Structure 1
Amino acid sequence: MTAVTVGGIDCGTNSIRLMIATVSENGMTVEVPRIMRVVRLGQDVDKTHRFDDEALARTYAAIDEFSAVLKEHPVDALRFVATSATRDAENRDEFEDAVQSRLGVRPDVIPGTEEAALSFLGATSVLESQDGPHMPPAPYMVVDLGGGSTEMVIGGDGVEAPADHPVAAFSMNIGSVRMSERHLVSDPPTRQQIDEAIADIDAHIDEAFATVPAGRTGTLIGVSGTVTTMSGIAMGLREYDRDAVDGAIVTVDDARTTCDRVLRMTRAERAEYQVIHPGRIDVIGGGALVWNRVLARVRDAVHEDSGRELNSYVTSEHGLLDGIVLNLGRRLLNS
């Protein structure tokens, strides 16, 4: 077997995505570009620890749509990965049963560490075609900022360990939906709400830094809808352009200024920005605050560790979903 066609579904707290690709020894070729639907599966899960019936209905509608696509594009294998919201939901069995009845596969509710490793695989896989002066310096720190959780994972330095090999990972229970629902409940948020959210975020980052040596970061790579949206706004895009954002290098200062501005906007003001997906308007402030703190803390850690300045990061459209598909394809090829 020299190539396999596989499908991957990434079911997160805010959105669900499908991608179909052919995987071979030479890499991955996308057959059906990623399809993304904002379903807010994690609505109120932080508070109730249960899936809301309306959230389940929205998610099932997207899954039925994905099922129709998969019937038109048969695959050798399909993996459905569920993350933060499903990990926390007490009634997740109901959800898992419904997915299996619709797709014929049961969701893999993966731990945060595996989510981090797959995000790292997806983000770094696109670097394999670069070399020489175009290759970003290792170690790579990949941050996947989701709706319910944020993963930090750092790879080797390319000497003692391969640059594309994760050496430390941590999953924090902070994300755009979770922070917005837990703290930023006013429109716009109050100073006290922001301060309480910052304290919450920083406590989680402290815990992550005890496991992940952030000070060694050579290149910071940010993935997920929050990061790509903040990058798009910082770049001055009038509407979202995936090709323009993917691989874009954004300065930390520009991104932090953008994050702070978006955080303090009203929902109506955010709705005027075509760069922001309509399904993110009410929670992007929480994500912006998480990304702002991650940028500040990683930059400080690098400076404290080595005196180097981490002035920018790489924006990537390749993360968990790419990692799911690539990992599944490689396992089939090696079986």
Structure 2
Amino acid sequence: MNKRIGIIDIGSNSVRLLLAEIGANNSIRIINELKEYLRLGAGLDKNKILSEEKIELTLKTLATYKNICNAFDVSEITAVATEAVRSAKNQREFLNRIKNDASLDITVLSGKEEAYYDYFSTINSMNVDNALIMDIGGASTELILVKNRNLVNSISMPFGAINLMKQFEINDVFEKDQEEKLKDFLLKQFNNLEWLKEAKGYTLIGIGGSIRTLGKIHRKSINYPLNFMHNYQMKSTDVTEIYNLVKGKTNAQRKKIKGLSSDRADIFLGAAAEISTLIDLCSIEDIIISRNGIREGLLYSHICKDNKPLDNVLDFSINAMLINHNIDIKHAEHIYHLMNSLYEALKPIIKHSINLHNIIRTSAMLHDIGSNITYYFHHKHSLYMILNSQINGLSHRELVLSAFIAASHRDDNLSINYSDYKLIIGKDDIEIINQLGLLLRIAENLDKSMISIVKDIHCCIDNDTVIIKTISDVSPSLEVKEASNSADAFKNLFNKKLYVV
């Protein structure tokens, strides 16, 4: 029985709702996501009293979210609040009013808990071994040191995109003395963290709206072909360039920068200075952006027993897609087995030194995903669906290669304009697509009946021939015939005759 849950995050900049469905094998399907920029952090006065105006806005938003959850038959709502509520002197009054008016129980997360859920969302949606995670919110910043996929150290510091601008009275133009004072303050805070030295040279994984904005600005500036943010990669030089761009402009001018929304233009500068300071201090070269955060961390805590991270991020993501789209998992697994067997046997003539395992697994398992739209031309639908899905555990390059390879499992000479993706893949990658696409086509034809008649294969490579010997309990005449149709394409790619027996 599928279960629908709602997760509400009352942050210092925005209040968000995530609606998700948990299905078979703990598969996750996101149903809806909403946000309201209420800026609770800006509603705290010098005595840390949350203003009546902000309380009323929050109550109105939460009442709306509660109604939406009811309309979607949500069985469980998890609602949390972070730094603005955490530091408010009138916190108890605020929580009681939410309880009375919206019938919601709010859990105020400690800084350590907030950092933990940032970690948990990252470790379950990215292939991360060693990294420094940074989450910049409206009124707090979390830093998390990850080693060998384990959370080693973490801290939540009480400054973020909103209160940094307020503290240093940055209203429009960023004066040089303001920048110096802000950076001196940030350096002092970061240098107090002895363990931060261990992150020197690590990849920085960025969480939060301000860091996503960095990615959006960069994506727009280079006309990046993919329209999603998770796992987007940048260099420290890109961050420095964007920081130098925004700090020399007024608020009105910042609003005209592509990728920088008008809702964030007036608070982005403090966050950008914070990121720039950290990457300089820790000699960070690579930045990866995560679209996930504490909401997704809370979501994963619903499915991960004893809060133990997923064993395999990619497999979990692939299986969730197969389940959500009602695809034959047994057939997908068998195609993967046959394709991988072909790849391992033919490595001597494929001649690619890079690890292609994730690409082979993804393209084979998801090659039929487009049939959920319609069987006819489903390989074209598979291309689109993979390209526009957030498949956790894949780099953007691996995602693009997987999509093109999956689309190649039919032999109607699908036309793909690779030049549209030249920022992600190169000439060598096109050869990989052609070679693995052909192996996938052969594997698909070796299970043409979709009942695993061909149990396995054995390959023999000679000077000018390749023989694929099928292993089967009954005569696989249909499968042999269909797979043999790829002989001409095989000769063109590998300069060897193909025989399937």
TM-score (norm 1): 0.83
Residues 286-297 of structure 1: pairs in structure 2 closer than 5 A: 286-297=270-281
State whether residues 22 and 29 of structure 1, in contact with CA within 8 Å, keep that contact through their aligned partners in structure 2. Answer: yes
Ranges in structure 1 where 5+ consecutive residues have no aligned partner: 128-134, 158-162, 300-309
CA RMSD of aligned residues (A): 2.7
* Alpha-carbon distance change, 31 to 246 in structure 1, aligned in 2, over 3 angstroms: closer
Number of aligned residue pairs: 308
Structure-to-structure mapping, 1:201-280, within 5 angstroms:
201-207=186-192, 209-212=193-196, 214-215=198-199, 218-236=202-220, 243-280=227-264
Cα deviation, residue 39, structure 1? 0.5
In the TM superposition, what whole-angstrom CA distance separates every residue of 1:257-284 from its partner, at most 9, and x where no partner exists? 2023223321101222352233212111
Q: Which runs of 5+ in 2 are unaligned?
A: 309-501
Q: Which residue of 2 aligns with 1:189?
A: 174
- The share of aligned pairs that are identical, in percent, is 21
Distance 1:242 1:280, change over 3 A: farther
Give distance in 1, aligned partners of 2:41 and 2:86.
10
C-alpha distance 196-61 of structure 1, shift in aligned 2 (>3 A)? same
**For structure 1, which segment, 211-220 or 247-256, has the greater mean C-alpha deviation from structure 2 after superposition?**
211-220
User: In structure 1, what is the equivalent of residue 268 of structure 2?
Assistant: 284
Q: Flag the structure with more relative contact order, 1 or 2, with Cα contacts below 8 A and sequence separation at least 6.
A: 1
Q: Tell me the CA shift for residue 26 of structure 1.
A: 4.6
| In 1: Cα distance, 2:226 partner to 2:45 partner | 30
Q: What is the alpha-carbon distance in structure 2 between the residues aligned to residue 213 and residue 6 of structure 1?
A: 39
Match of 1:13 in 2: 12
Alignment match, 1:79 = 78
In structure 2, C-alpha distance between the alignment counterparts of 1:311 and 1:40, rounded to whole Å: 32
> d(CA) in 2 for partners of 1:240 and 1:20?
29
CA apart distance, 1:41: 0.8
- Determine the structure 1 residue equivalent to 2:69: 70
Task: Give 1:176's aligned residue.
Answer: 161
Report the AA paired with residue 223 of structure 1: I
Residues 240 and 279 of structure 1, relative CA distance in 2, 3 Å threshold: farther
**How do 1:23-172 residues align onto structure 2 when only pairs under 5 Å count?**
23=22, 26=25, 28-45=27-44, 47-127=46-126, 135=127, 138-157=129-148, 163=149, 165-172=150-157
How far apart are the structure 1 equivalents of 2:107 and 2:226?
Answer: 28
Change (3 A) 1:329 1:4: farther
1:118 shift after superposition:
0.2
CA positional deviation for 1:242 = 9.2
Return closer, same or farther for 1:53/1:249 CA change in 2, 3 Å cut-off: same
Residue identity matched to 1:123: T
Rounded Cα–Cα distance in structure 2 between residues aligned with 1:56 and 1:276? 28
Deviation at 1:87, TM superposition (A): 1.2
Distance 2:50 2:97 in 1: 13
CA contact (8 A) 1:240 1:275 kept: no
- TM-score, length-normalised on structure 2? 0.57
Give SS of 1:35's match: strand
Given the alignment, which residue of 296, 316, 337 partners 1:322? 296
Distance 1:19 1:254 in 2: 31
Structure 1 residue 329: Cα displacement: 4.5
1:311 matched residue in structure 2: 285
Name 1:302's counterpart in structure 2. Answer: none
